[in-house]
């Protein structure tokens, strides 16, 4: 829509420098910018800091909650209230440090009142260069955040999701690392978000054109980009279940990825042991998998030395026969194995100096031909299970 209000969504971990960047932005642009700030506490400190600058055309505050989940209705109300004033040219949404960018972006791309007047222009994630270096180098203990629902979740897991779902990565606090360390961090970020544009900054000082009116967000690809629940390795392009599906690119700093796809179930006990002892060189793992005795499509997210497993919808092959047949009729392109149906292992592993062969051998050793196991410690509903420290 030509007359839709462009939106820049600003994400990043706690302390990454989002508010500093935003205040710099507001003092260095000529156009009128409205700001919506979300803070997890009852006192919205970020909104107060921005208001003190006196440069935003409008400031909406959402406090004591997270806009990616329980404050979704409030978010829509707030942005519609701002739109009615229409005294600004661009909206910047600064989410809290424990918010996921995908649900926020979906508000402006799904069928909603907000989507009728706004359009997402750019998804921006601010990364603390030094903190991220410590994360992938394994030098710090994993921190955790507690959601409003009382769920404890690794902050590293949220950080990686923020990195993977963005158009622009602002690598902030670059003055805290050496040139070599910065190159190492950037190599990891390029592997996690190969399509993202990376901008190095100190104290959030950047050219506003880097994050405003970039047009980098592709609405036609929004369903895929905002639903990160299937393993995909854009560097291999293979779908061979019988052979090792990986490569060993000669890349700077040894940051490589390997895709693992198989059509046999994992033994739950063996896989649980593996997830509790993943190699130190591993930075990120994600994708879907299945274990014997569990009908749910399990999702893996690994970051900061913690493997987090959640249960999704049941595999089509695990559904009642009538329901299963209906699904297959409605999805003619569905890959279907004669024995296992749609169930498969589809995982991606990203590491620095990662031994692909050794990892694949360990994963293969966890496979079984018996699909009637006990499910082990893995979730079968909405619960999450963690392995590692």
**Residue with structure tokens 């949220």?**
158
Q: How far apart are CA 287 and CA 302, in angstroms?
A: 10
3-state secondary structure of 140: coil
| Domain 5-225 identical in fold to domain 252-388 | no
- Backbone region of residue 93 per phi and psi (left: phi > 0; alpha: psi in -120 to 50; beta: other values): beta
Q: What is the pTM of this model?
A: 0.69
Range 5-225: architecture per CATH: 3-Layer(aba) Sandwich (3.40)
Over residues 203-257, the pLDDT tens digits come to 999 999 999 999 999 765 554 455 433 333 333 333 333 333 333 333 456 778 8
3-state secondary structure of 72: helix
DSSP state of 242: S
DSSP H or E segment with residue 284: strand 282-289
**pLDDT attached to residue 106:** 83
Please give the class, per CATH, of domain 252-388: alpha beta
CB 19 within 8 A of CB 94: yes
The domains of the chain are located at 5-225, 252-388
Distance of CA 354 to the CA centre of its chain: 22
At residue 102, what are phi and psi to the nearest 5 degrees? -60, -50
DSSP state of 362: H
Q: What angle do CA 172, 100, 16 make, to 5 degrees?
A: 20
Over residues 297-313, the pLDDT tens digits come to 999 988 777 898 999 99
């Amino acid at each position: 829509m030509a007359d839709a209000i462009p939106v820049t969504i600003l994400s990043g971990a706690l302390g990454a420098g989002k508010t500093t960047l935003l205040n710099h932005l507001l003092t260095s642009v000529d156009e009128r910018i409205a700001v919506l700030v979300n803070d997890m506490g009852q006192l919205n400190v970020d909104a107060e800091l921005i208001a003190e600058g006196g440069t935003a055309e409008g400031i909406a505050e959402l406090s004591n909650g997270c806009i990616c989940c329980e404050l979704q209705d409030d978010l829509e109300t707030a942005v519609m209230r701002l739109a009615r004033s229409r005294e600004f040219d661009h909206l910047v949404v600064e989410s809290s440090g424990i918010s996921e960018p995908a649900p926020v972006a979906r508000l402006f791309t799904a069928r909603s009142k907000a989507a009728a007047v706004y359009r997402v222009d750019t998804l921006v994630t601010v990364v603390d260069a030094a903190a991220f270096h410590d994360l992938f180098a394994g030098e710090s203990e994993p921190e955790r955040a507690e959601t409003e629902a009382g769920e404890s979740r690794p902050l590293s897991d949220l950080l990686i999701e923020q990195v993977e779902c963005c158009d622009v990565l602002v690598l902030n606090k670059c003055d805290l690392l050496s040139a070599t360390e910065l190159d190492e961090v950037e190599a990891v970020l390029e592997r996690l978000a190969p399509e993202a544009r990376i901008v190095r900054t100190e104290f959030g000082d950047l050219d506003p054109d880097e994050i405003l009116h970039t047009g980098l967000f592709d609405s036609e690809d929004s369903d895929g980009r905002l639903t990160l629940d299937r393993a995909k390795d854009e560097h291999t392009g293979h779908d061979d279940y019988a052979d090792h599906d990986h490569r060993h690119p000669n890349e700077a700093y040894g940051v490589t990825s390997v895709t693992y796809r198989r059509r046999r179930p994992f033994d739950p006990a063996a896989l649980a042991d593996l997830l509790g002892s993943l190699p130190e060189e591993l930075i990120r793992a994600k994708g879907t998998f299945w274990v014997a005795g569990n009908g749910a499509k399990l999702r893996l997210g690994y970051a900061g030395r913690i493997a987090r497993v959640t249960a999704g919808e049941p595999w089509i092959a695990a559904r009642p026969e009538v329901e299963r047949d209906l699904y297959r009729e409605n999805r003619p392109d569905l890959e279907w194995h004669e024995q296992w149906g749609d169930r498969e292992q589809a995982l991606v592993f990203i590491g620095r100096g990662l031994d692909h062969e050794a990892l694949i051998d360990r994963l293969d050793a966890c496979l079984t031909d018996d699909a009637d196991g006990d499910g082990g410690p893995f979730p079968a509903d909405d619960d999450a299970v963690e392995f590692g420290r």
